[in-house]
Amino acid sequence: MISKNKISEYFIWIFHTFEKNFQKTVNMKKIAIIGFVVTLLLMEWQCTLENKNKNMNQQIISENTIKEIIDTLKQHSEISESLIEKGVKQAAQLWDTTDGTAEEFKQFCFSNFSRTLESKEQLFNILSQNFEILFGYFNKITVELMKPLHLTGRDILPIDEMFGGYSVSAHLIDDFFKNKIAFVTILNFPAYSLKEKNELGKNWTRLEWAYARMGDIFTSRVPSNILQSLSQIITKADTYISEYNIFMGNVQSQNGQYLFPKDLKLISHWGLRDELKSNYANKENGLIKQKIIYEIMKHIILQDIPQTVINNPNVQWNPFSNEVFENGNKMEALAEPNTRYQHMLNIFNAIRKVDNYSPQYSTYIKRKFESEMEIPQEEVEQMFVQFVSSPQIKAIGELISKRLGRPLEPFDIWYDGFKPRSNISEDLLTEQTRKLFPNTSAFQNYLPAILIKLGFEKTVANDITSKITVDASRGAGHAWGSEMRGDNARLRTRIGDKGMDYKGYNIAMHEFGHNVEQTLSLYNVDYYMMRGVPNTAFTEALAFIFQKRDLFILGMKDENTEKEHLMALDNVWATYEIMGVSLVDMRVWKWLYQNSNATAEELKKQVVKTAIEVWNEYYAPVFGKKDEPILAIYSHMIDAPLYLSAYPLGHIIEFQLEQHLKSNPFAKEIQRIYTIGRLTPNQWMINAVGMPLSTEPMLKAAEEALKVVKQ
C-alpha cells in the first residue's frame, strides 16, 4: 500500500521528510496525501521566487553585492569558501523586494552567518530541535484531523473532508521567509544538487550529510494558497478511492450464480486484486471467480461500471452483461461519469500551479524523480524496460502456464502460486487469523511476539512496538509514521466484526514492516535531519520483507527444498507486473504535460490506450493475448501520482536485502541497515549490502531457479 499511503506516504519534512510518513499504504501503498503535497515542495535551489501579485521575479541582489558579501565573510571564517559562496548565492536568489533592500540583505548575511565550525554546529542543533517540534506536531495534527477519513466509524460528512483537506503546514514556508528563519537556514546550510550529493557525498561525514539534508528544506517559495488548494483536491481524491468498494456477495457469474460470501466487501484495486490472488488455491471455482473479478476491473478502468453498484449493498450486478438488478428485477443504471479520471485531472491541474515556481525542475515528473526519489526518471524507465524485456520473463510465463495447466489469462500477472500460502485454503488461514486477532488490541499486543520470532531481542522488540499504534482502517490499510520522537507510528488495517481475516493480516504484516522502518529510522538515527530512508522504495522493501514472512509468524514452515528458487521466481514475476503499471503511470503523466487542456474523457481514452500499448509491447508476447487494459487498474494512478515506481524499485531493493540477509543475522542487520539514514539511493545500498541498486541479482537468481523448478 502507500506507506499512504499511501498514501503516504511515505518524508522530507514538509517536503522529502513528510513524504515517507504521510504515505498511505494500501496493500502496496497509496501515496502520502499530505506527504504528496509536501513532495511538491522538493525543488532545486535554483528556483526563483514568486512576488505576490507578479510572475517569478528576477534576482534583485546584484553580482557585485554578492561578491562583496562573500569576500567579507571569507576574511574571518573557518567555513570553506565554496560553502560561503553557495549559501550567499542561494539566499540572494530567494530574496524578494518584500524581504528588504540589497543593503539590508548584506547586513543580514553579516549578522547571521556562522563563521566558526562550533557556532555552525550549535545553529544546526537548534534548528534541528525546533524543526522536529514543528514537523512532529504538524504531522500529529494531520493524523488526528484525518481520523474520520481513515478509520472505521461513523459515515464521513462534508465537514470531515474540510478538516481532512486542511494543510496545517501550508503557511510555514511563507512565514519562515517573512521572519527570515528560512534565510538563516539557506545561508548556513545551502542545498546541493543530486549530482553534487552523488559525487561529494562519498567523502562526507555524517554531520556533513545532515547539514546537506537541512539544505533540502527551504529551496522554493510556493504560495500557501496553492498548497492549501492542492491538499484539499488530493484529500477528495483519496476519500473517493477509500470509499470505492464492491459488494462481492451481490456480484453474479456469467450464468447468474453468486459465488462470493454475502458479506465480502472489496476495495478497488487492492481488495479485488488480493481476492483474485487468493483463488489460485481454490480448485473448485477459483478460475471462474478470477474471471468475474477481471470483468469488474475492466469496467472500473473503462468507466462503464454502473454508478449504483459502487459501495452499495442493495443491488445485484452481472459484470459480464453489465446489468443491474434490485430484488431480482432489472433496473436502469447509469455509468460512473468518468469520476475516476476527473480526480486524476484535478490533481494534475493543481500540480501545474506549483510548476511555475520551479524553473530548474519545471514539471512534477522531474521533481518526483530527480528531487524526491533522487533517481532521474529516464534512468528508472530504462531500468524497467530492460527488466520487462528480459528473456527470463517469458520463460517464467511458460512455467506458470505449465503449473496452471492452461494458457495464461491477463490476470495471471498476479499469479501467486510460487508462494507457500498459494496451496493453503484462505478460509483456513482466515479461521486462524480471526482466532488470533479478534480486534485491534489483540494484534497490537501480538506485535512484540512477531519481532521476537524474527530474531529481535525481547527488550528491543518491546521498545520498537511501544512506539506503534494499531487502528482499524476504513480503507485497505496504510502505515503512517511519526515525525518526532515521543509520538507513535500508526498501523492501519481492516478488521471486520468477526476479527482480522487473512487479507487484513497479510496487509498488516506489510504495514508493520513500514512501521518498524519508520521507528528505527527516526529513533535510532544519529541526526534528526538524517531520519528516514532515501525514498519510498526503501521503506517498501522492508514492508515486502515482513509481508513475505506472514506464514512463518503463524507457525507454518515451508519444507519445500525449492523454496529459495520459488521465492526468486515470485519476486521477478511480481516486479514484472508492477513495472508495467509504473510504465503506464509515467507515460500518462508525460502525455498530460503535452496535453494540458485535456478533458476527463480524453484522459480516460489515453490511459486505456497507454495501458494497451504497454501490454502489447511487453506482456502480449508472454501471455499470448493482445489489447488488454489491466495495467490501468491501480488506484495509485488516481490519488497518488507517480508513486507506483516505488514498488518495483522496492522489489529490487528487497531482493538485494534478502540475498544479504541469508548470510547475516536478520534482526541485527535490519537494525543496522535501517538506521543508515537518508543518503542517496546508491550510497545507501552500498552501505547496506555492499553494491549499488541493480536488477542483475534478481534476474540471475531467476535464471538459476528456472534450471531447478520444472513444474
Q: How confident is the model at residue 359 (pLDDT cuts 50, 70, 90)?
A: low
- What pLDDT digit, counting tens, does each position of 233-252 carry? 998 999 999 899 999 999 99
pLDDT of residue 422: 63
pLDDT confidence of residue 58: 59
State pLDDT tens for residues 170-192.
788 889 999 999 999 999 999 99
Tell me the H-state helices in 624-695.
636-639, 646-661, 666-673, 681-689
Cell 528505527 belongs to residue: 520
Spatial contact of 533 and 517, defined as CB atoms under 8 Å apart: yes
The pTM assigned to this predicted structure is 0.83
Give the burial class of 329: count Cβ atoms within 10 A of its Cβ; 0-12 exposed, 13-18 middle, 19 or more buried. exposed
What pLDDT is stored for residue 12 in this prediction?
A: 31
27 has pLDDT over 60: no
Cα separation, 279 vs 297, whole angstroms: 16
Taking residues 395-412, report their average pLDDT: 97
For residues 81-105, give the mean pLDDT: 94
C-alpha to C-alpha distance for 354 and 335, rounded to whole angstroms: 33
Q: Name which of 345-359, 563-577, 646-660 the model is least confident about.
A: 345-359
Segment 487-491 mean pLDDT: 96
pLDDT above 80 (res 704):
yes
According to DSSP H, which parts of 51-116 are helical? 63-75, 81-94, 102-112
Ordered DSSP codes for 251-265: BB-TTS-B-S-TT-E
Confidence of residue 420 (pLDDT cuts 50, 70, 90): low
Beta carbons within 8 Å of 578's beta carbon, 6+ residues apart: 28, 644, 647, 648, 651
Quote the pLDDT of residue 592. Answer: 98
Instruction: Give the pLDDT score at 72.
Output: 96
Q: In terms of pLDDT, which residue wins out, 5 or 486?
A: 486
Percent over 70 (pLDDT), the chain: 91
pLDDT for position 421: 64
Residue 57 pLDDT > 60, yes or no? no
Top-confidence residue, 530 or 355: 530
Q: Is the pLDDT of residue 45 over 50?
A: no
Q: What is the pLDDT of residue 47?
A: 37
For residue 563, pLDDT over 80 is answered with yes
In the numeric block, the cell 500557501 is attached to 224
By CB atoms closer than 10 A (0-12, 13-18, 19+), residue 339 is middle
Amino acid letter at 300? I
Q: Mean pLDDT in the chain?
A: 89
Position 360 scores a pLDDT of 67
Region 390-401: mean pLDDT is: 97
- Can the peptide bond before residue 150 be classed as cis, meaning omega within 30 degrees of 0? no
Per-residue pLDDT at 233: 95
The continuous run of DSSP H or E covering 247 comes out as strand 245-247
Q: Return the residue matching grid coordinates 538515527.
A: 525
Strand 245-247, strand 489-493: pairing: unpaired
Block residue for cell numbers 494499531: 470
Q: What is the mean pLDDT of residues 651-670?
A: 96
Least confident of 33-37, 323-327, 329-333, 665-669: 33-37
The pLDDT value given to residue 39? 42
Report, as an integer, the average pLDDT of 634-655: 94
User: Is pLDDT above 90 for 361?
Assistant: no
Residue 353 has pLDDT above 80, yes or no: yes
Percent of the chain clearing pLDDT 90 (strictly above):
76
Q: Are 23 and 536 in contact (CB under 8 A)?
A: yes
Question: Alpha-carbon distance 384 to 390, whole Å?
Answer: 10
